[in-house]
Amino acid sequence: VGAHKLNQSKDPLLFAIAPHSNQFIDPMLIIKTFERPIGFLCAAKSMRYKGWSLADIVAYFARVLEAVPVERPQDLAKEGSGRIRIIQTASNIITVQGVDNTTNFSQEAKVGGQVLLASGPNKGAVARIKTIVG
């Protein structure tokens, strides 16, 4: 495309540079390349660090650059109690069912919330909760 063409434009631009492993280099390249005002988004979780670890330094620079914090569902996830099993029907409806009496969906989850599977063959899968029975 050519950065010179993007710098000439007066229209707002939105670049999505994610997910990536160059989270330290990309912002520097963007700042150096563009002559127009630039804003960044940053995971809100990353901006909450305050100390001297690498994560804390990233948070410091995100705040200095006035990055807009974005809450991500995976950062707000909490581990539920008990064990579950997943039942998938022919109509592609997935049911998450408690295996023992230590599972407490009615207190720990709510309709409209999400379930994130942290292990097993469907690790990383996310589903919206439609109903809670029991």
pTM check: above 0.85? no
Given a cut of 60, is residue 96 above it in pLDDT? yes
Count of positions (residues) in the chain: 134
Two structure tokens written together for 44: 């809100």
Q: For 2-16, 37-51, 109-123, which range has the lowest pLDDT when averaged over its residues?
A: 2-16
- pLDDT digits 0-9 by tens, 20-37: 666 667 777 888 888 888
- Give the span between the Cα atoms of 25 and 27, in whole angstroms: 6
Q: Is the pLDDT of residue 1 over 60?
A: no
Q: Range with the lowest mean pLDDT among 17-21, 83-87, 104-108?
A: 17-21
